[in-house]
Amino acid sequence: MRINRSDRLQPGMTAPNFVLRDTTGKLINLQAYSGTRVLLSFYRYASCPFCNLRVHKLIKKYPEYHKAGLEMIAVFESPVETIARYAGRQNPPFPLLADPSLKLYAWYGIQSSWWAYLKSIRKLNLLLDAIFIKGYRLGKMDGDKALVPADFLISEDGTVHTAYYGRDIGDHLPLEAVEEFLVSTAPHL
């Protein structure tokens, strides 16, 4: 899948709406989150150790972020059954969506890059930690191995506040940027 950089979302643009089923069968409609701040994260295939490590980190941060008024949605390129088998084992308190057609990935301008795949060698320690310490073993690769993750912070009005396109297959928006977003967009009483 080739997306031009000009096709990528920019801050201030309206986040494309979607309706997809999560791994429990519930329909998730981005428009239903209107009035709420959202972290929308796109991952590679569901058994990706980097992706599972990131989901693990978000699960740990969820109580704090949710209390601050942030909802989270995770999208994988894998089918529902594979997501449930791998990332779903962690029982995240946020929806995991399946987009094996990559339609939503295209709407959000997410790219595949073998260069980004190769650059991930710099994260060997993180990969080894994910596999051997956390136990996120590589499994079925039902997707594009070179798909690069992305994260979007969406404001209450449905516009993109932050569009973060990973530089390699293990790169996500730093959690400090999420926390800064929560502070800077907190409702003033």
**Partners of 183 in beta bridges:** none
Q: What is the per-residue pLDDT across 41-85, written as a single tens digit (0 to 9) for each?
A: 999 999 888 899 999 999 999 999 999 999 999 999 999 999 999
pLDDT for res 4: 47
pLDDT of residue 31: 96
Q: Which of 49, 54, 57 is nearest to 138 (CA)?
A: 49
Angle 175-184/49-67 helices, nearest 10 degrees? 20
Q: Under a CB-based contact definition with an 8 Å cutoff, are residues 147 and 106 in contact?
A: no
Residue ranges of domains in the chain:
35-184
Q: What is the pTM of this model?
A: 0.89
Contact 77, 144 (CB under 8 A): yes
Which CATH architecture fits 35-184? 3-Layer(aba) Sandwich (3.40)
Residue 75's DSSP bridge partners are 42, 97
